[in-house]
Amino acid sequence: MTQLSISMPSNRNLYKSRAAIESALVYAEKTDSQLIVSDNSGDPAKRAYFEHRSPRLIYIVPEGDDAAVNMMNALSRVDTPFVMPMADDDDVYLLDNIEPISLADLPEDTVAVRPRSYAWSMPQGVRKVGRFSLSANDAAGRLMEYNSKANGDNSIFYSIYRTKVFRGLAVLFQDAHPTRGGYCDWAMSYAFAAAGKFAYDPATIYRYDLGNWTGKDGLEASVARLFKQAGLPEEAEHFSALLRFVDAHVFLVWAGLPISDHERLSAQVTNARIALGTFIRKVEGEPDLYGEEVRYLTQMLQETPDIASAFQLAILILDRLLPGLSARYIDFYNTATAKTA
C-alpha cells in the first residue's frame, strides 16, 4: 500500500519549478509514493511538460492564483496515511546507502518523520543542517525540546506527517485563522510537536531554499513582508512573540489534536512560558516601541495567574496593534474547539 503523498502547491513557471518537481518524482518512484502538484502558475509550457509525465503524478490546474486555494487543492487529493508538504523551489532526495524509516511500522505516538534538512541559498550554499528528532514522552516536554533544538530554524516544518493531523490543522488555519499569515509556521510547528514525537530519517534529504531569508537585511525585509501580506501594520514585528503565543495557544486547543486534556493544558502553559516570556522581556527592554496601554496590559500579563486569562489579555494587547483583532481571535478559538477534521 502506498503510504506517502508529497503535496506541492506550485506557482513558479517551468524554469523555476522543474528541478523541485523532478526531484519529488524521483523520490516518489524510490519510495512507492505519489506526488500531487496543484499548479496555478498559468504557464502552458509547464503544464505540457508535467501533466501526463508519470502515473505517480497527480497534476491539478485550479482556477485563479490564490495561494491558499492552491495549497488546499493539493492537500485535498491526499488519500494516503502520510503527507509531506513541499515547496516548488526546494528539492527532496532519498539516499541509496541508508535504509529509510518504514512509515507503515511507525509507532502510534510518533506524528512525523523529520528528514535531514539542508537550509541552502544560491550565493552561500548550505547554511544549516537539521538532524534532530523530538523524543520526549509528553507534549510539554516536546515543546521545550523543540524550542531548545530549533535555534531559529523552522525547517522541521517540511517533514512527513500523519495526514489526519497535518491536513486537519491546515484546514483549521485556512478556514478560521484571523490573518492566514505566512509567519504562522512556527506556531503550527509547536502544535505538531505537541501532537507527537518526530522520528529522524537520515535517508531522506530535504533541501530548503532560503531565497531572500539570508543576511540581516534579507531576514528583516522578509519578516516585514510576511506581516504586510497578512494585513498587519508595520510594527507587527515587535509583537511577533505575542502573535506566536496566541496562534500556538489556539492550535493547541484544536479538538483534533491527539493528546489528553492534561497534556494539552501542560503544553499551553509551556507555550506561554516560552512565547509570553519573550514578549514581556522585549517590552521591558524596549519600552519606547510600545504605547502606554500595551505596557500597562503587559504588566498585567505578568501578574495573570492562569492560562485562560493570559490568552484574553494577550488578544486585548493585539487590539492595540490592529483594532478588532481580538474578536477575530475569539472566533478562531471557538472554531478550533469544535473542529475535529
313-323 pLDDT, tens digit each: 999 999 999 99
pLDDT value at residue 305: 84
Backbone angles phi, psi at 93, to 5 degrees: -140, 155
Task: Please state, in angstroms and as integers, the Cα–Cα distance from residue 26 to each residue in 32, 104, 162, following that order.
Answer: 10, 20, 22
Question: How far is residue 176's CA from residue 335's CA, in Å, rounded to a whole number?
Answer: 7
Rg (CA), the chain: 20
| Cα gap 292→289, rounded to integer Å | 10
- Asked whether residue 188 is domain-assigned, the answer is no
Separation CA 48–CA 167 (nearest Å)? 29
Beta strand 34-39 with 197-209 is unpaired
Q: pLDDT tens-digit profile of 254-264?
A: 999 999 999 99
Mean pLDDT of 10-38: 97
Residue 220 cell numbers, joined? 528583516
- What is residue 99's DSSP assignment? P
- Which residue among 89, 107, 133 closes a domain? 89
Residue 37, phi then psi, degrees to nearest 5: -115, 120
Residue 132 placed within a domain: no
Q: Exposed e or buried b for every residue in 160-178, given b needs 16+ CB within 10 A?
A: bbbbbbbbbbbbbbeebbb
Tell me which of 118-122, 244-248, 298-302 is least confident.
118-122
Report the distance separating Cα 39 and Cα 11, nearest Å: 6
Which tens digit of pLDDT belongs to each residue from 169-179? 999 999 999 99
C-alpha angle 249-254-257 in degrees, rounded to nearest 5: 110
Mean pLDDT over residues 74-90, rounded?
96
Domain final position from 74, 89, 104: 89
How many domains, in total, are found in the chain? 2
**Could you report the per-residue pLDDT of 285-308, keeping only the tens digit for each?**
999 999 999 999 999 999 888 999
Of 333, 329, 334, whose CA–CA distance to 317 is shortest?
Answer: 329
Answer yes or no: is 325 within a domain: yes
Is residue 78 over pLDDT 60? Answer: yes
Name the average pLDDT for the chain.
93
What pLDDT is stored for residue 129 in this prediction? 87
Nearest CA-CA partner of 177 in 340, 333, 337, 339: 333
CATH number at residue 3: 3.90.550.10
What are the helix (H) ranges across 177-214?
Answer: 185-195
pLDDT tier for residue 216 given thresholds of 50, 70 and 90: low
At residue 340 the predicted structure's pLDDT band, cuts being 50, 70 and 90, is low
- pLDDT at residue 258 in the model: 93
pLDDT grade, residue 341 (50/70/90)?
very low
Confidence class for position 13, pLDDT limits 50, 70, 90: very high
97 located within any domain: no
Last residue of a domain, which of 89, 109, 126?
A: 89
Q: What is the rounded (10 degree) CA torsion for 251, 257, 261, 263?
A: -80
Give yes or no for residue 136 having a pLDDT over 70.
yes
CA distance 130 to 114: 9
Picking from 10, 158, 168, 157, the residue whose alpha carbon sits closest to that of residue 78 is 168
Domain membership flag for residue 142 = no
Q: Which three cell numbers stand for residue 63?
A: 482556477
| 147 falls within a domain | no
Domain with 312 in it: 234-338
* 60 vs 83: CA distance, rounded Å: 17
Contact yes or no for 57/37 (Cβ under 8 A): yes
Q: How far apart are CA 172 and CA 248, in angstroms?
A: 12
Residue 125 belongs to a domain: no
Phi, psi of 241, rounded to the nearest 5 degrees: -65, -35
